[in-house]
């Protein structure tokens, strides 16, 4: 298939439909409205169903219901709307149901603004809802990767019976870029024998539930969940990295921020600096081990985010105190420029080379 030009939000919709998603429940919020708009237009053409719910809370509970009956289902929102969905997300995680949730982050806290941010890192990776649960969190850096990760997201959700979050910022949702959709021939959706599809009098009912009033039983359920999260930690880490061996400094960033960082790195390389990059693609599971590849001679790791330092916590965990962890961030919807990052690096490394 030839490349077409699409907005990130539209590409998510097209990728989801190609991955077999037939149900979308959502509630409008900028900057992700093109996605529900796309789904409302396209899902009926493929025998699917779009519902604009009365609220985010209603939408996530519709996802809960559809996922429980075995459907490939998706919802999307932006930060304040995702905050509202947390109860439902916790229920879905507790009931071990697959679904894909898209968060096109905007500035916060509260209603915040409508410009891009990365302030939901904690919410996404630490669980905004109650209980010891984890989401698989995927952080695309361009529209092509966004489309690829949406497709992979549905497969991962089914494989682990776990909600997957696509964590983008308003910029990647709004940005127009060339995209090509992967051929999914040969990929089959595995049969969901746990789904509530009707017993037809031939089997015991399947039950979808996150309530366990017996403490021992609930502990066993939690142990099972933790085993699953450990399997995910072992098998599903994705990361892009470069020049870690002899770097003067390593920069870590994800999403569109990582692209700005790459532009900054190429500017710095022209001036003779050796700068490495670690770009986590999965935020849970986090690529902690990748940081072990950084030599002790490196002066430190600079984390760049569109927030006040959230992934920074994971970078510190990964570094185990081996070297300093620096931070540069912009907030409120401001986007860092390559020049600002270059300046910060020079501050750390000391002057011009």
Partner 1 sequence: MLNDNRIRVITGHYGSGKTEFAVNYAVKLARLGKKVALVDLDVVNLYFRSREKTKTLEEIGIRVISSSIKGSALDLPAIPGEVLSPLQDTTYECILDVGGDPAGTRVLARYTNYFTEGKYDMFFVLNGNRPETQTVDKAIEYMIKIEEVTQVKITGIVNNTHLLKSTTFEDIISGNKLALEVSKRTNTPLKYNVALEDLVSSIKDIKGEIFPISLYMREEWML
Query: Nearest distance from residue 246's CB to partner 1, in Å?
Result: 25
Query: Between 199 and 238, how does the x/- string for binding to partner 1 read (CB under 8 A)?
Result: ----------------------------------------
Query: Nearest distance from residue 302's CB to partner 1, in Å?
Result: 17
342 binds partner 1 (CB under 8 A): no
Among 20, 26, 31, 255, binds partner 1 (CB under 8 A): 31
Query: Nearest distance from residue 321's CB to partner 1, in Å?
Result: 32
Q: Is the CB of 73 or the CB of 102 nearer to partner 1?
A: 102
Among 3, 126, 220, 320, binds partner 1 (CB under 8 A): 3
Among 12, 14, 19, 165, binds partner 1 (CB under 8 A): 14
177 binds partner 1 (CB under 8 A): yes
The Cα 117–Cα 248 span in angstroms is 28
Among 75, 90, 115, 117, binds partner 1 (CB under 8 A): 115
32 binds partner 1 (CB under 8 A): no
135 binds partner 1 (CB under 8 A): no
Long-range contacts of 340-348 (CB under 8 A, 24+ apart): 341/251, 341/260, 341/261, 341/264, 341/302, 341/304, 342/264, 342/267, 342/268, 344/302, 345/249, 345/251, 345/264, 345/268, 345/273, 345/275, 345/302, 348/249, 348/299, 348/300, 348/302
Angle (nearest 5°) at CA 100 between 96 and 105: 125
Q: What share of the chain is helix, strand, coil (3-state, %, to 5)?
A: 40, 20, 40
Range list of β-strands (E), the chain = 4-7, 23-26, 49-52, 73-77, 99-105, 136-138, 163-169, 176-179, 239-242, 249-252, 275-280, 282-284, 301-305, 325-329
Query: Nearest distance from residue 228's CB to partner 1, in Å?
Result: 37
Query: Between 273 and 292, how does the x/- string for binding to partner 1 read (CB under 8 A)?
Result: --------------------
176 binds partner 1 (CB under 8 A): yes
Cα separation values, 157 from 24, 138, 252, 259, Å: 16, 12, 27, 27
Query: Are 229 and 281 in contact, with CB atoms under 8 Å apart?
Result: no
170 binds partner 1 (CB under 8 A): yes
260 binds partner 1 (CB under 8 A): yes
196 binds partner 1 (CB under 8 A): no
Q: Which residues form the interface with partner 1 (CB under 8 A)?
A: 3-7, 14, 30-31, 113-115, 142, 170-171, 174-178, 259-260, 262-263, 333, 338
């Amino acid at each position: 298939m030839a490349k077409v030009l699409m907005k990130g939000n539209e590409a998510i919709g097209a990728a989801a439909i190609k991955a077999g998603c037939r149900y979308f429940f959502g509630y409008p919020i900028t900057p992700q409205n093109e996605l529900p708009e796309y789904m409302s237009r396209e899902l009926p053409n493929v025998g699917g169903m779009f519902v604009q719910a009365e609220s985010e809370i209603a939408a996530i509970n519709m996802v809960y219901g559809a996922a429980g009956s075995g459907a490939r289902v998706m919802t999307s929102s932006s930060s304040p709307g995702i905050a509202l969905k947390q109860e439902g997300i916790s229920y879905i995680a507790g009931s071990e149901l697959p679904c894909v949730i898209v968060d096109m982050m905007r500035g916060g806290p509260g209603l915040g603004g409508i410009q891009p941010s990365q302030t939901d890192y904690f919410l996404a990776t630490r669980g905004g809802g109650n209980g010891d649960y984890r989401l698989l969190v995927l952080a695309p850096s361009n529209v092509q990767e966004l489309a690829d990760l949406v497709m992979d997201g549905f497969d991962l959700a089914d494989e682990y019976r776990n909600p997957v979050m696509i964590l983008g910022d308003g910029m990647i949702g709004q940005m127009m870029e060339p995209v090509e959709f992967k051929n999914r021939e040969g990929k089959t959706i595995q049969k969901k024998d746990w789904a509530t599809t009707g017993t037809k009098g031939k089997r015991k009912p399947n039950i979808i539930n996150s309530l366990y009033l017996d403490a021992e039983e609930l502990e066993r359920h939690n142990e099972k969940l933790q085993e699953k999260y450990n399997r995910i930690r072992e098998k599903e880490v994705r990361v892009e990295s470069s020049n870690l061996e002899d770097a003067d400094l390593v920069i870590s960033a994800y999403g569109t921020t990582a692209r700005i960082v790459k532009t900054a790195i190429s500017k710095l390389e022209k001036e003779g600096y050796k700068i490495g990059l670690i770009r986590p693609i999965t935020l849970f599971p986090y690529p902690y081990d990748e940081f072990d590849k950084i030599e002790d001679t490196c002066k430190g790791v600079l984390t760049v985010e569109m927030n006040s330092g959230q992934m920074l916590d994971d970078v510190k965990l990964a570094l185990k105190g081996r070297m300093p962890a620096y931070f540069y961030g912009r907030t409120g919807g401001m986007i860092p420029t390559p020049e600002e990052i270059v300046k910060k690096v020079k501050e750390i490394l000391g002057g011009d080379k």
